[in-house]
Each structure stands twice: as C-alpha cells, then as structure tokens.
C-alpha cells in the first residue's frame, strides 16, 4: 500500500459519474494507459478504478466513478460521502489491460468503460497511430468526457442508445484484417457481443477489460489439493472455499484486493497442475500457459496444484 492521498477535486462529469483528482505531497507513481488504482475507502472497502487523467502530469491521479445502485457500497460512498480534502488509501497503479504497439487501434467503450480508453486514445494520438473510437451509453447525458473527445472530430463516434439503438460493432470494425488491435471496455453484454464479432479476426486482435469476472459454475464440485512449495504445506480446498481463503486458513497470507478476479493483486505462480481460470484478466493464450492464476477466484481442473507460496 502506498502513502494515502487526498481528494483534491471532485467533479460531476455526467449523470451518475464523478471524477476524483487524488494528490499527495509530491509525484505520484508513473502509470501506463489501461492501469487502474485500488482505492481503499475509509469504510474499509477496496475498489478498483481505471486511471483516466494525463499520465504525463505526475502531480495527481484522476479516476472516474459511476454510481452503481446495485453495487456493494463503494461507488455510493464515493458519490455521497467522500469530499474534497478527505484522505484515501491507494494501491497500485497496476495494469492488466496494457496497450500494445500497433499501427492501428479500434477502441470500443460502453458507459463508464470509457475511462481506461481515454489515456489509450491520447497515447495513440501521441504515437501517431491510426485510431477510431466507438462510444456507446444509455443516453448522451450519462456519457462522461464527451467534451474531451470532441476535439478528435469524426474519429470518435458517439452513439447513445436512446438515439441510435445498440452499437453497430460489425459496421464499426469492418472486415477482419491484420495490424489492428481492438480494445474494448464496458458492460458484459457489450463485451460478449464484441467477442462474437471478433471471432474471425486474427488471434490476439481483441483485448477486453471486464468489470466483473463471470465464469459460471466451477468445473469440478469436489475438493482438490494445493501444495505450497515455499511453505512446505499441503492444503485441501473444499468446494465452498477459495484457494485464497483455504491457504489463509493454513496460515499463508496472499495479498488480495478485489477478490473478484479483476484486479490482479493475488496473482500466484503455478508450478504444476491445471488451474481452472475464472478471472477476467488473462487472455486465452495466457490461460493455456497454466503458469499463474488468481487465487481469489480461480480453482483447479486437476486433483492437485503446486503453487509458489
Ligand atoms: S484479489 Fe483481485 S484478482 Fe484476486
């Protein structure tokens, strides 16, 4: 955990969306487009928010927070209680959604999913890459940062659902072709749809960031064993417990934050066995390598996993 920061500015930027500027006494840590920050609220809740400010301004971070009525209280606290001058704990930044070099980028944002894509747009612009952005939301007033994006003219397609209906993903992306990277962030139905549309594109073209891991039922309903090589322990993980909780019970603490398979904090090296990946972070080829897992949500396909713990 880093030194706490203070809320320097809080701004309503759209219906249900505020931005916070967080600053300490000096430089904040460097970050790259796609990074998120762990915000540790005075209530003890920890939440992850994408950085959406100017990475070259090292004096503060900026995050965007959507009020989520059905959420677990983090966004409500930020909207209703957190004020300018208040102190918050921070962890990170950490990047599970890095922008890889490409001559052309296609960005697709749904709602608050615009936040990690804003710095990517700026980076693509700086690098002189070709890029376009398709940005959807429920209605125009709920869509943050439209002013910032206006300067980019017709490279940005703003498509509120009440004016245009569902996003025309196939029309925006065009024919499958090499030398393009597609970055998408938004609600699960949008990301599921773009995964379907991108199926014929070359492997690794699409990279998505999900707000929640949605892996369905675990593959096995029976206990499995984890062998912790550095601790010299064998721990049985019952169907009712996560690997994280089972090893903690045995006295081995793994750092965690979101406990939902989205932040990356609990990443653990796998030395043998086949993990069942249930996170929202790893790409398919990273999953196939079976050399690491996020123990807050991921489980095991094999009877035994050997972990570097
Ligand atoms: S604690 Fe966030 S991915 Fe495991």
Question: Would you kindly state where each structural domain of the chain is located, as residue ranges?
Answer: 5-93, 104-209, 224-307
CATH architecture group of domain 224-307: Roll (3.10)
CATH code, 104-209: 3.40.50.80
Residue 213 has a pLDDT of: 67
Neighbouring-strand partners of residue 37: 49
- Mutation choice for ligand 1 from 48, 213, 264, 280, CB with most ligand atoms inside 8 A: 264
- Best substitution site from 95, 257, 286 to test ligand 1's pocket, by max atoms within 8 Å of Cβ? 257
pLDDT at 3 over 90: no
How far apart are the CA of 296 and the centre of ligand 1, in A? 6
Give which of 293, 85, 309 is closest to 301, Cα–Cα.
Answer: 293
Averaged over 129-139, what is the pLDDT? Answer: 97
Q: Span 5-93: which CATH code?
A: 2.40.30.10
CA angle 92, 261, 182 (to 5 degrees): 80
The sign of the torsion formed by the CA atoms of 176, 180, 181, 186 equals negative
Q: What is the pLDDT of residues 203-244, one digit of tens each?
A: 999 999 987 766 678 888 899 999 999 999 999 999 999 999
Evaluate the CA torsion angle 250, 255, 257, 258 in order and state its sign: negative
The pocket around ligand 1, CB under 6 angstroms, is made up of: 256-259, 261-266, 279, 294, 296
Tell me whether the CATH fold assigned to 5-93 matches the one assigned to 224-307.
Answer: no
Phi first, then psi: give them for residue 118, nearest 5 degrees.
-55, -50
- Rounded mean pLDDT of 44-63? 91
CB 90 within 8 A of CB 169: no
Any long-range contacts for 102-105 (C-beta under 8 Å, 24+ apart)?
A: 102/129, 102/179, 102/180, 102/181, 103/129, 103/130, 103/179, 103/180, 104/129, 104/130, 104/131, 104/179, 104/180, 104/181, 105/129, 105/130, 105/131, 105/132, 105/180, 105/181, 105/182, 105/183
Q: Model confidence at 45, in pLDDT bands (50, 70, 90)? A: confident
The kind and range of the H/E element at 9 are strand 5-14
Query: How does the average pLDDT of the chain come out, rounded?
Result: 93
């Amino acid at each position: 955990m880093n030194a706490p920061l203070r809320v320097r500015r809080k701004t309503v930027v759209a219906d249900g969306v505020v931005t916070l500027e967080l600053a300490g006494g000096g430089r904040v840590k460097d970050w790259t487009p796609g990074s998120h920050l762990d915000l540790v609220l005075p209530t003890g809740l920890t939440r992850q928010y994408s950085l959406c400010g100017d990475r070259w301004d090292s004096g503060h971070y900026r995050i965007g927070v959507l009020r989520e009525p059905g959420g677990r209280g983090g966004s409500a606290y930020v909207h209703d209680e957190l004020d300018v001058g208040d102190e918050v704990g921070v962890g990170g930044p950490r990047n599970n959604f890095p922008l890889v070099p490409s001559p052309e980028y296609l960005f697709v944002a749904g709602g608050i999913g615009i936040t990690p894509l804003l710095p990517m747009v700026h980076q693509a612009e700086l690098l002189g890459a070709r890029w376009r952005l398709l940005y959807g939301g429920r209605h125009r007033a709920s869509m943050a940062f439209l002013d910032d994006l206006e300067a980019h003219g017709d490279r940005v397609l703003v498509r509120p659902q009440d004016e245009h209906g569902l996003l025309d993903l196939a029309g925006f992306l065009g024919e499958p072709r090499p030398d393009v990277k597609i970055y998408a962030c938004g609600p699960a139905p949008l990301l599921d749809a773009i995964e379907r549309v991108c199926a014929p594109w070359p492997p690794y073209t699409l990279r998505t960031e999900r707000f929640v891991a949605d892996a369905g039922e675990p593959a096995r309903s029976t206990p499995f064993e984890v062998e912790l090589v550095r601790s010299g322990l064998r721990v049985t993980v019952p169907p009712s417990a996560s690997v994280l909780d089972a090893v903690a019970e045995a006295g081995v603490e793994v750092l965690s934050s979101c406990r939902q398979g989205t932040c990356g904090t609990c990443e653990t090296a796998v030395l043998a066995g086949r993990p069942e990946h249930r996170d929202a972070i790893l790409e398919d080829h990273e999953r196939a390598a079976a050399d690491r897992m996020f123990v807050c949500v991921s489980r095991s396909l094999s009877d035994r996993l050997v972990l570097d713990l």
